[in-house]
Amino acid sequence: MKNDMKEILLTEEQIQKKIKELGHTITEEYKDHFPLFVGVLKGALPFMADLVKAVDTHLEMDFMDVSSYGKSMVSSGEVKIVKDLDTKVEGRDVLIVEDIIDSGLTLSYLIELFKYRKAKSVKVVTLLDKPEGRKVDLVPDLTGFIVPDEFVVGYGLDFAERYRNLPYVGILKPEVYEG
Ligand code: XMP
Ligand code: MG
């Protein structure tokens, strides 16, 4: 799979080091709050798995699947709930765990949804942020890395469902997605 990469943006070591730091920050912030971590499927799965192991306080995990991208690389701006939470968010301190924020449309939808459902607090941790892609005003509470406005894959992020299992984040060679 490495042959398909034009460039490796973030190595496995860089990602894991950053997740340890985020874990410490989250531990301090949420100690004794029993936060509800909401992972956004499928992209946030590897990040969620590593992040919760770096957090040293009790927490609950749940997952949501929303679609706005499909197989296309361009955001449609449409958000559809494919799988909802099994957990009640009322009165809970919710931490949304995302792989990447691009336009911000997916997240602003989720934040509003959880507020509507009477969460006590709603915050966002994202591994990657692409601020240049923003279509709505949204700043994550915690960010791993800022990335350029290019299509990235790996560590949960896919191209047509592939590359999610890479332990690093990279940019594909154009011939991979053009041909
Ligand atoms: P929005 O635009 O709503 O999008 O902030 C967030 C979701 O879009 C997907 N996304 C990407 N997926 N490489 C990917 O594999 C990318 O560069 C990329 N940019 C956005 C992703 O699923 C994210 O949850
Ligand atoms: Mg995707």
Q: Which ligand sits closest to the CA of 44?
A: 1
| ipTM of the complex, rounded to two decimals | 0.90
Say what the pLDDT of residue 79 is: 81
> Candidates 38, 102, 150: which one to mutate for ligand 1, based on the most atoms within 8 Å of Cβ?
102
**Of the ranges 11-20, 25-34, 170-179, which one carries the lowest mean pLDDT score?**
170-179
**Residue 122 bridge partners (DSSP):** 94
Structure tokens at 13: 């070591």
Ligand 2 centre from 69 Cα, in Å? 6
Catalytic residue among 50, 93, 99, 102: 102
pLDDT tens, position by position, 51-96: 999 999 999 999 999 986 554 555 555 688 999 999 999 999 999 9
CB-based burial, 137-153: b 16+ in 10 Å, e otherwise? ebebebbbeebeeeebb
Residue 67 beta carbon below 6 angstroms from any ligand 1 atom: no
Taking CA atoms, 53 is separated from 46, 60, 163, 175, in Å, by 11, 12, 23, 37
Q: Can you state the angle between helices 12-30 and 45-53, rounded to 10 degrees?
A: 60
Ligand 1 centre from 57 Cα, in Å? 29
Write out the residue range of the structural domain in which residue 7 sits: 2-178
CATH classification at residue 77 = 3.40.50.2020
C-beta of residue 129 within 8 angstroms of C-beta of residue 100? yes
Query: With 0-12 CB in 10 A as exposed, 13-18 as middle and 19+ as buried, what is 39?
Result: buried
Structure tokens at 50: 């590593």
The total of structural domains in the chain comes to 1
Question: Active site includes 129?
Answer: no
